[in-house]
């Protein structure tokens, strides 16, 4: 494995797996180019070193080839605007044009392949198998796509002299472009800067955090966060619990939660988490009060209630004023802060003030010297919405990948580069 900083790109064609899965408006214009901006330093490093670049990515979840709604051609203007250079478009990743264009690439040139997920081989999952297909037919389809996947990977690899994985957001998938292709470059594979920075940021807080270390965890459900809560319990001094999942905890403890979101099947898990936290000396901080609404909409009536005494017909949609104060004070006392998941329904402005208070407290703590890492799609959306991304230490580009890496799982995209 090479470090991108020490690799000699002179005269080399680098195939870079980027994460250009960006949001588009109805006209196909990029509405948030964060992921494109993030990839620029890696692309420039190759070009400045005298190499050329072949960019590959997925976009959305197309179910068939050439679905123009998912064509990466749409994002070329956005890449060119950030890169300040022309980007050649190769069309279909498997076409003769792509191969020819890659062969003829001159130092300083950049080309983009069409959406990799136009091919079932990228994910290695069969398509078009009828629901009523027999197990045998399903197994056959699976085996067929695995076979053609080998050709797909070989062809992609044939375009380049070295491989860079810079797509942290898909590193938890064992796909053709995120993991399998690395085998073709045993001596010429490396992480790009996005990946390097992500791994460094996460490793540093998981291995050697400055204390007190607190995790602010929100989001809608306990069920999707159990493994990360359990893992974090081994590392943190406190967990600030917010969002919809708190009501499962309140209800499990016998509280009244009205119509708040709740997973009764998770009651035993919630109680076990509280028991373990006590045993390990991890403080669990919850909001004493909730902002409650009589409907899940922007024009709902709102009021405040204790988090464990919400009247019927009402649901908790955010933390209350007392909760904002408690969370802020706690966060300001910490030296390392990890934030995953909004503490309220932040998509509706009226229910976003708790998440804003958390974001502001984290920014303030960071100003005072704390290290803060924001991860997971919704908390990143929050920090951007409140214009505070520049005032935290690190904003992760990975949602699922970040959580899996923190849980201690080996990510296929990371392992493929690291293994010798
Ligand atoms: P997650 O993907 O699990 O991190 O959850 C994020 C989602 O949780 C966001 O869409 C929020 O709107 C939602 N959420 C946060 N607080 C609540 C709540 N009190 N009730 C319902 N949904 C919530």
Task: Convert the pLDDT of each residue in 298-354 to its tens digit.
Answer: 999 999 999 999 999 999 999 999 999 999 999 999 999 999 999 999 999 999 999
Atom nearest to 379 CA in ligand 1 = 4
28, 49, 255, 400: which is the annotated catalytic residue?
Answer: 400
Task: Please tell me the distance between residue 243's alpha carbon and the centre of ligand 1 in angstroms.
Answer: 6
Place of tokens 């898990």: 269
pLDDT beyond 80 at 1: no
Neighbours of 76 (CB within 10 A): 16
34 lines ligand 1 (CB under 6 A): no
291 lines ligand 1 (CB under 6 A): no
Task: Please tell me the distance between residue 198's alpha carbon and the centre of ligand 1 in angstroms.
Answer: 25
With b for 16 or more beta-carbon neighbours within 10 A and e for fewer, the 11-48 pattern comes to ebbbbbbbbbbbebeeeeebeebebbebbbebbebbbe
Q: What does each C-alpha distance from 417 to 10, 57, 98, 315, 420 come to in angstroms?
A: 21, 17, 25, 47, 8
Q: How far apart are CA 24 and CA 75, in angstroms?
A: 9
378 lines ligand 1 (CB under 6 A): yes
Give me the mean pLDDT over the 353-373 stretch. Answer: 97
Task: Please tell me the distance between residue 219's alpha carbon and the centre of ligand 1 in angstroms.
Answer: 4
Q: State the pLDDT confidence band at 273, using cuts at 50, 70 and 90.
A: very high
Instruction: Judge whether 221 counts as a catalytic residue.
Output: yes
Provide Rg for the chain, Cα atoms. 23
Q: How far apart are CA 17 and CA 203, in angstroms?
A: 22
pTM above 0.95, yes or no: no
Task: Please tell me the distance between residue 30's alpha carbon and the centre of ligand 1 in angstroms.
Answer: 25
Q: State the pLDDT confidence band at 45, using cuts at 50, 70 and 90.
A: very high
Give me the mean pLDDT over the 216-245 stretch. Answer: 93
The per-residue pLDDT for range 127-140, each reduced to its tens digit, is 888 888 899 999 99
Instruction: Judge whether 243 counts as a catalytic residue.
Output: no
pLDDT beyond 90 at 212: yes
Secondary element (H or E) of residue 45: helix 34-48
Window from 34-38, 65-69, 266-270 with minimum mean pLDDT: 65-69
13, 35, 225, 356: which is the annotated catalytic residue?
Answer: 35
The closest of 44, 23, 46 to 34, measured between CA atoms, is 23
Instruction: Judge whether 104 counts as a catalytic residue.
Output: no
Q: How far apart are CA 46 and CA 52, in angstroms?
A: 7
């Amino acid at each position: 494995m090479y470090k991108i900083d020490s690799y000699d790109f002179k005269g080399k064609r680098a195939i870079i797996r980027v994460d250009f899965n960006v949001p588009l408006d109805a006209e196909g214009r990029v509405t948030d180019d964060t992921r494109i901006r993030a990839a620029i330093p890696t692309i420039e490093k190759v070009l400045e070193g005298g190499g050329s670049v072949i960019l590959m990515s997925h976009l959305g979840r197309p179910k068939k080839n050439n679905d123009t709604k998912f064509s990466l051609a749409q994002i070329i203007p956005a890449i060119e605007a950030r890169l300040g250079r022309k980007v050649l478009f190769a069309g279909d990743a498997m076409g003769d044009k792509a191969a020819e264009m890659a062969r003829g690439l001159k130092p300083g040139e950049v080309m983009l392949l069409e959406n990799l997920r136009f091919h079932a081989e990228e994910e290695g999952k069969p398509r078009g198998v009828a629901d009523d297909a027999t197990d045998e037919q399903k197994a056959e389809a699976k085996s067929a796509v695995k076979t053609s996947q080998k050709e797909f990977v070989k062809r992609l690899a044939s375009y380049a002299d070295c491989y860079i994985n810079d797509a942290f957001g898909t590193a938890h998938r064992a796909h053709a472009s995120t993991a399998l292709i690395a085998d073709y470059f045993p001596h010429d594979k490396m992480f790009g800067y996005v990946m390097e920075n992500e791994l460094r940021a996460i490793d540093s807080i998981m291995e050697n955090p400055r204390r007190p270390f607190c995790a602010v965890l929100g989001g809608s459900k306990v069920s999707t966060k159990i493994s990360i809560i359990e893992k974090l319990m081994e590392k943190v001094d406190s967990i600030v619990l917010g969002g919809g999942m708190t009501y499962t905890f309140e209800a499990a403890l016998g509280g009244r939660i009205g119509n708040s979101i709740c997973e009764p099947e998770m009651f035993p898990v919630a109680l076990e988490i509280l028991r373990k936290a006590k045993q390990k000396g991890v403080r669990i901080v919850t909001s004493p009060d909730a902002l409650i609404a009589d409907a899940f909409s922007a024009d709902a009536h709102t009021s405040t209630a204790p988090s464990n005494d919400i009247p019927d017909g009402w649901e908790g949609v955010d933390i209350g004023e007392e909760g904002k104060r408690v969370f802020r004070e706690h966060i300001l006392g910490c030296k390392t802060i990890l934030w995953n998941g909004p503490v309220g329904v932040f998509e509706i402005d009226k229910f976003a003030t708790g998440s804003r208070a958390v974001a502001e407290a984290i920014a303030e703590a960071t100003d005072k010297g704390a290290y803060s890492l924001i991860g997971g799609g919704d908390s990143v959306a929050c920090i951007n919405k409140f214009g505070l991304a520049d005032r935290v230490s690190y904003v992760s580009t990975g949602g699922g990948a970040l959580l899996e890496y923190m849980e201690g799982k080996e990510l296929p995209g990371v392992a493929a580069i690291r293994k010798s």
